[in-house]
């Protein structure tokens, strides 16, 4: 690990690779969530598979958590280093003249996303862990029934207006984060070929995926 973060370029490559990993994960997460719009059963099946498959649980989940933690910790470390490289600030700095708000405020959007993740983990992950590994109930069914519990639990969460609003804000910031982050990750690992396509794809991804998440949240709020 120390070798990985020895030089500035290695650090940014590590940042980019973790970002690309998270981008792929996000797509997967979105696909599963999106199923909930069409079919309660299919969503339940998918959730149950993800929640009980040992490969997912004991290999992919730790990697994911490591990736998320790494991306955040590294983000803060880089920001701290970057702040230190300009100890005396400009009294007037017109950063907006030459760079987008998104690119200059990755830490802000990142911090909001982190707060969102906190709630998200509290809502789902902590709950899942408790049920599965503390209480030892791996069945995934609502006690006393044969129905899988995932859809119902998730649906219930979106009854709370404030939670929905917070989710929407979180995804809006995620969108801003991705608008810069998607193409930036490719730049960091040195990919300039298909630059225009990457930027376009990034913009589509950064808008469609968070919008989709917002749509799902609103869908469940409205269909209460």
Q: Which 20-59 positions form the footprint of another protein (CB under 8 A)?
A: none
Report the C-alpha gap between 24 and 15 in whole angstroms. 14
Report the C-alpha gap between 10 and 3 in whole angstroms. 8
CA atoms within 13 A on the CB side of 29: 14
Site string for another protein, 166-185 (x = CB under 8 A): --------------x--xx-
Report the C-alpha gap between 207 and 21 in whole angstroms. 18
Q: How far is the CB of 3 from another protein (least distance, A)?
A: 8
Q: How far is the CB of 113 from another protein (least distance, A)?
A: 16
Given 106, 148, 176, 214, the residue binding another protein (CB under 8 A): 106
Main-chain phi, psi angles of 148, to 5 degrees: -70, 145
Given 57, 61, 103, 203, the residue binding another protein (CB under 8 A): 103
Q: How far is the CB of 78 from another protein (least distance, A)?
A: 5
Report the C-alpha gap between 202 and 205 in whole angstroms. 5
Site size for another protein (CB under 8 A): 39
CA atoms within 13 A on the CB side of 36: 25
Nearer to another protein, 12 or 149 (CB): 12
Q: Which 68-97 positions form the footprint of another protein (CB under 8 A)?
A: 78, 81-82, 84-95, 97
Contact call for residue 18 and another protein (CB under 8 A)? no
Contact call for residue 188 and another protein (CB under 8 A)? yes
Contact call for residue 8 and another protein (CB under 8 A)? yes
Report the C-alpha gap between 50 and 58 in whole angstroms. 11
Report the C-alpha gap between 37 and 17 in whole angstroms. 31
Report the C-alpha gap between 177 and 101 in whole angstroms. 10
Contact call for residue 191 and another protein (CB under 8 A)? yes
Length, in residues, of the chain: 224
Give the binding site for another protein (CB under 8 A): 7-13, 78, 81-82, 84-95, 97-100, 103-104, 106, 180, 183-184, 187-192, 195
């Amino acid at each position: 690990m120390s070798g990985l973060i020895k030089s500035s370029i290695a650090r940014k490559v590590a940042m980019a690779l973790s970002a690309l990993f998270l981008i792929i994960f996000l797509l997967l997460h979105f696909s599963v969530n999106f199923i909930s719009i069409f079919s309660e059963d299919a969503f339940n099946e998918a959730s149950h598979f993800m929640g009980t498959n040992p490969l997912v649980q004991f290999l992919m989940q730790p990697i994911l958590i490591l990736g998320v933690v790494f991306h955040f910790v590294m983000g803060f470390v880089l920001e701290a280093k970057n702040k230190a490289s300009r100890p005396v600030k400009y009294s007037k700095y017109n950063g907006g003249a030459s760079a987008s708000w998104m690119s200059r405020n990755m830490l802000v959007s990142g911090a909001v996303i982190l707060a969102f993740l906190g709630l998200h983990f509290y809502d789902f992950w902590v709950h899942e862990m408790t049920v599965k590994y503390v209480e030892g109930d791996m069945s995934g069914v609502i006690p006393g029934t044969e129905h899988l519990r995932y859809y119902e639990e998730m649906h219930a969460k979106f009854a709370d207006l404030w939670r929905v609003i917070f989710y929407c804000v979180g995804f809006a910031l995620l969108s801003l984060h991705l608008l810069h982050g998607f193409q930036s990750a490719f730049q960091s690992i040195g990919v300039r070929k298909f630059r225009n396509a990457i930027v376009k794809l990034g913009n589509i991804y950064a808008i469609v995926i968070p919008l989709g998440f917002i749509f799902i949240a609103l869908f469940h709020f409205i269909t209460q």
